[in-house]
Structure 1
């Protein structure tokens, strides 16, 4: 789902290379030469979590930037798509619909409560049954879970309603709050006073700033004594705060801002497991979007390489599918639609639109680096083939309302193919298919292929099935595929231990030299 979040400048390869391309290595030994525990790590983000300390209402940004400091999950999926042990050290399928997870020993919550299997089972049950939380995003993604129970103090058994090979991946979405606090105070209790096993615990939470202190008993105890996370919605304000020394790390800046970080500051660029696209609506009557040839034509009409090179520092890449390169189901044989104006015009004429047409496209600006400029470039390219685009900027709140109810009065809208947090293509494919209810796009043969893949427990066979679905979604596109996006964060050169692991920041590793 789309995250909360015109001069085109060419950027040379040398300039792009001058911006550090990925997160730094683990500096776990670097702070041992000096006492860093008196340090305060200061971070500026675009917004604090809308649900405050409750980790159940979303799995994306900006919430994860804060919740990663307070909570932990059973598993953590890294950028290569590997499911890593986290609060759970191992897991296995004991039947088609039963999984067991073995918990890490010696883990305590910041209030002294001990992590055990009964507590984890109680949290899962709460998410499934609480009248409020059961309607939120995490419960939706975990709806395949039927029940959870403790087999012993260290073993949780989870039963699913259907075969789900992705359950270990999905457990990365469930942050575990202190079970007794959750039982006694409910979601309201952890919203105002979150208690987790993470490296920090909340000391003060105001409207625009959270102050956290080290949870020295955490299984991943931090190297610094204090963490401050403040909301600065304006990217320019975040840049000013970094360059004036008020903060050590800022998130979500633009490519142009990244180029400004030199000297004592640097930009960290990470290729995101997220593909930017404009989703087509074909379930709203007889519109141009109902024609496969029109949808193909629009893909040929946009110069995606120009977007990647001129607007994304040469670090983005044109795509012809929604699944990211390291996610399960990625098909290396699918190439981007080449930029071909004549081909686009030919297909539109064959579809019965030789003179083009008008469409309205709804977008939320500020979700991705350079998204406003990208949308303008798309609008200009489509005009060259006779498609007049009414680019309508809407709020995220309205976008979400239209998306959930499929109440669009437009013909397309901005929607990313997000392989996060599970690093699996099936989730995004489902959203761009008949399987999303109510569906904005439906091609039943493709949906039937996808259904078969969703319940296949053989990883290799399942990946091949998803690759077939990806090819079908290229040939009969549900979206105007644009580019694989990038994350750009700004750092002080003194900051050590930073890495962008699918936006889960390693607060336990970071310190200042």
Structure 2
């Protein structure tokens, strides 16, 4: 029997990079500016990008996302499929948490079980991704076995990046489950120093880190929603890395001395979520499809993103395992949109709220304004409500958002199951605004199917259902555009949008 991506093969690894030479240059403080502040320091409660860029450096995971999106051993050193329901993982020796506690198999068992603990409030964001897990068995201090309820071809992907972060059991048992929200302890390359909400967050290098050391003593993350401020800070040397650079600023930055720009596609898709829970127009499939025809996505990419972006047909990007290239985006056709709205009983259109996480994604405010204009052209008045990211997340969690909300979904597992679990299954982790029993059945079937061809067929069927029923309005795959102070550091961005501080190289002065 074929196994998905040959995950049953024993994989050996030694992690990323090697220890730098003793003469490596050092940097006292690295400043990173991003568009929003973090939400929580507990890595199992929030996994949004702004938060993950911080927590992924405090905590280590069993596996890291490799350059091609596939898992690479990190705190794990190897794994094997013992039988269809049992995965054995061998762990790295000699690793300690920041408080001195040993990392071992007990820590792995504790971390996975905590992520599934329904008694923790708020509910861990990771819980929905571990529903196939039955038990975690400690074989010896550095070997664990994960037993699943049914075959699960992506167990290793479920333990990669932010999904596989390891926590200190003794520390949490001593101080309580809430301690990580304000005083995080991990095994990562940097230790937590302080967090002044909406101002800055400071990390200090972990001198006892088992892996590569970058030579950067301190790192300061700053939430700066105004992109003009981020760009000015980079040019003036007040920031070393800035995220979400607008495409129209690339040329200016590249012409600035000691500044470089890195551009690549991210694992994130941008889409609009429909909220049909209160009934009204959005509860009608015809209306949702009509609105999809009303938005000129290619025009948004060309005119606002400067051509940096890739149109998507559903939730999936080409790098997602399960992506079907034969499912094409719906056409931009305002005339058809008007016709469908009239057939649905809205010949004069209607008014709807449109929630936007201001500054959270590349050019998102301009994108939202343009979409509102395109919807107005077919008679739909979209009233924009802007929120800073933290406020947006709170409204989202409370299911209090307006009829439309523009949002990004990162595919950190690079597998269809993550996106479907987080957005479209009934009571989805980051949704819960849509329910389709037929879709649910297929999602659960795909989760346990190990045959590659059969799994691809399931996800192809799912993509056709998504397009036909239109629970979301797909837009584009977001570009990753960073500005970097090339006179201080060298760094290559990764598709998962994270910033692994131990992979940055300090440039000599």
What TM-score do the two structures reach when normalised by structure 2?
0.85
Q: Does 1:488 align with 2:478?
A: no
TM-fit CA distance, 1:435:
1.8
Partner Cα distance (1:340, 1:355) in 2: 17
1:233 equivalent in structure 2: 224
Q: Does 1:296 align with 2:289?
A: yes
Partner Cα distance (1:47, 1:398) in 2: 11
TM-fit CA distance, 1:60:
1.8
Give the alignment partner of residue 247 of structure 2, picking from 248, 255, 263. 255
Contact kept, 8 Å, 1:304 with 1:318, in 2: the verdict is: yes
TM-fit CA distance, 1:397:
5.2
Partner Cα distance (2:157, 2:446) in 1: 16
What is the 5 A alignment of 1:412-427? 412-416=404-408, 418-427=409-418
Contact kept, 8 Å, 1:133 with 1:187, in 2: the verdict is: no
Give the alignment partner of residue 30 of structure 2, picking from 41, 46, 49. 41
Q: Compared with structure 1, are the counterparts of its residues 126 and 298 closer, same or farther at alpha carbon in structure 2 (3 Å cutoff)? A: closer
Give the alignment partner of residue 328 of structure 2, picking from 335, 356, 373. 335
Please state whether the residue corresponding to 1:167 is helix, strand or coil.
Answer: coil
What is the 5 A alignment of 1:341-490? 341-394=334-387, 396=389, 399-408=392-401, 410-416=402-408, 418-433=409-424, 435-436=426-427, 439-490=432-483
2:106 equivalent in structure 1: 118
Deviations 1:57-116 (A, max 9, x none): 211221112122221111223463312212112233434443322112333334444322
Contact kept, 8 Å, 2:194 with 2:203, in 1: the verdict is: yes
1:272 equivalent in structure 2: 266
Partner Cα distance (1:356, 1:320) in 2: 25
RMSD (CA atoms): 3.0
Q: Compared with structure 1, are the counterparts of its residues 122 and 482 closer, same or farther at alpha carbon in structure 2 (3 Å cutoff)? A: closer
Partner Cα distance (1:451, 1:336) in 2: 25
Contact kept, 8 Å, 2:266 with 2:480, in 1: the verdict is: yes
Q: Compared with structure 1, are the counterparts of its residues 370 and 182 closer, same or farther at alpha carbon in structure 2 (3 Å cutoff)? A: same
Partner Cα distance (1:38, 1:265) in 2: 17
1:174 equivalent in structure 2: 164
1:194 equivalent in structure 2: 184
Q: Compared with structure 1, are the counterparts of its residues 460 and 152 closer, same or farther at alpha carbon in structure 2 (3 Å cutoff)? A: farther
Partner Cα distance (2:353, 2:118) in 1: 39
Q: Compared with structure 1, are the counterparts of its residues 314 and 203 closer, same or farther at alpha carbon in structure 2 (3 Å cutoff)? A: same
TM-fit CA distance, 1:290:
3.1
Structure 1 residue ranges without an equivalent (≥5): 1-25
1:60 equivalent in structure 2: 48
1:14 equivalent in structure 2: none
2:59 equivalent in structure 1: 71
Please state whether the residue corresponding to 1:245 is helix, strand or coil.
Answer: coil
Deviations 1:410-444 (A, max 9, x none): 4332233x242211222323454352268422333
Partner Cα distance (2:194, 2:410) in 1: 34
Partner Cα distance (1:422, 1:66) in 2: 19
TM-fit CA distance, 1:378:
1.1
TM-fit CA distance, 1:407:
4.6
Please state whether the residue corresponding to 2:208 is helix, strand or coil.
Answer: coil
TM-fit CA distance, 1:500:
2.7
Structure 2 residue ranges without an equivalent (≥5): 1-14
Partner Cα distance (1:33, 1:313) in 2: 43
The count of aligned residue pairs is 484
2:503 equivalent in structure 1: 509
Contact kept, 8 Å, 2:192 with 2:204, in 1: the verdict is: yes
Partner Cα distance (1:212, 1:399) in 2: 26
Contact kept, 8 Å, 2:297 with 2:475, in 1: the verdict is: yes
What TM-score do the two structures reach when normalised by structure 1?
0.85
Contact kept, 8 Å, 2:39 with 2:46, in 1: the verdict is: no
Q: Compared with structure 1, are the counterparts of its residues 457 and 278 closer, same or farther at alpha carbon in structure 2 (3 Å cutoff)? A: same
Q: Compared with structure 1, are the counterparts of its residues 178 and 366 closer, same or farther at alpha carbon in structure 2 (3 Å cutoff)? A: same
TM-fit CA distance, 1:306:
0.9
